[in-house]
């Protein structure tokens, strides 16, 4: 017999050992060079932006008077709640409003997107829980950006210098004209003098009204107020 007792059947040939080795993925030299070049370019652009802001800040601030510069600093410090030298979307909005600039949300976000820096990862205080809560209703490009004091100074100085003087006078008139009557009465003048802590007597306030009241109605109209301010 072909396969008798004591004879073993032929064994099947064993499969060759798996000698496949996964290739290692190393960045190609050209890719590494490109990434490094992009990093250096970003750093160069950041330096140029800082230098541009330095120049713009010095030029704009030099054209402001001391009182205007102090107002900018006070507005920033008042709303920089954690005193880290940066303000977020919500702080920027109220700080600008305090200076007379009531911008819509999209313009505030645009300023942060153009001039802000990214909120640092793992930051504490306002940039942590408080800012995270605030971002629930401030979304979009720029919402997670912060604005430095220097950038705030520059932007506010430029906006103040671009103001129309007559618009500023009208805004001041409206602060006096309680209730939007269209004129400043003796009662209005008395209230403002008291709020500002000016120790003016009743007779002095009456004299001010009489001096500038051109139409004899015992009040100062908006046109009369503008003429007073423009000299």
The mean pLDDT value of the chain amounts to 80
pLDDT cut 90: percent of the chain above it: 37
Domains of the chain are: 38-161 (1.10.238.10), 165-230 (1.10.238.10)
* pLDDT tens-digit readout, 134-188: 443 345 555 579 999 999 999 999 999 888 888 888 888 988 999 999 999 999 9
For residue 140, what are the contacts with CB-CB under 8 A and spacing of at least 6?
Answer: 106, 109
Helices (H), 64-128: 66-79, 89-98, 105-115
At 135 the pLDDT is 41
Stronger pLDDT, 134 or 82, i.e. the higher one: 82
Helix 29-63 / helix 149-161 crossing angle, nearest 10 deg: 50
Stronger pLDDT, 204 or 131, i.e. the higher one: 204
At 41 the pLDDT is 87
Mean predicted confidence (pLDDT) in 84-97: 94
Containing 148, the helix (H) or strand (E) segment is: strand 145-148
Distance from the Cα of residue 106 to its chain's centroid: 12
Q: What is the pTM of this model?
A: 0.53
* pLDDT tens-digit readout, 40-59: 888 888 788 777 767 766 77
For residue 88, what are the contacts with CB-CB under 8 A and spacing of at least 6?
Answer: 119, 126, 127, 131, 134, 138, 145, 146, 147
For residue 197, what are the contacts with CB-CB under 8 A and spacing of at least 6?
Answer: none
């Amino acid at each position: 017999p072909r396969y008798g007792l004591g004879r073993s059947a032929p064994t099947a040939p064993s499969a060759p050992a798996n000698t496949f080795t996964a290739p290692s993925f190393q960045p190609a030299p050209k890719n590494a060079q490109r990434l490094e070049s992009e990093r250096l370019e970003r750093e160069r652009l950041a330096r140029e932006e800082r230098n541009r802001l330095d120049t713009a800040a010095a030029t704009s601030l030099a054209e402001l008077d001391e009182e205007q510069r102090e107002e900018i600093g006070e507005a920033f410090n008042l709303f920089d709640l954690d005193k880290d030298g940066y303000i977020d979307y919500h702080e920027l909005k109220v700080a600008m409003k305090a200076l007379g600039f009531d911008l819509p949300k999209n313009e505030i976000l645009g300023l942060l997107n153009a001039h802000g820096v990214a909120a640092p990862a793992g930051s504490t205080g306002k940039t942590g829980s408080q800012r995270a809560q605030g971002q629930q209703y401030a979304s979009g490009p720029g919402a997670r950006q912060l604005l430095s004091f220097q950038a705030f100074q520059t932007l506010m100085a430029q906006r103040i210098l671009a103001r129309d003087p007559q618009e500023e006078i009208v805004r001041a008139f409206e602060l006096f004209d309680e209730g939007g009557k269209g004129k400043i009465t003796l009662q209005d003048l008395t209230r403002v003098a008291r709020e500002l802590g000016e120790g003016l007597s009743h007779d002095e306030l009456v004299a001010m009204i009489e001096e500038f009241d051109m139409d004899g109605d015992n009040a100062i109209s908006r046109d009369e107020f503008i003429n007073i301010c423009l000299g």
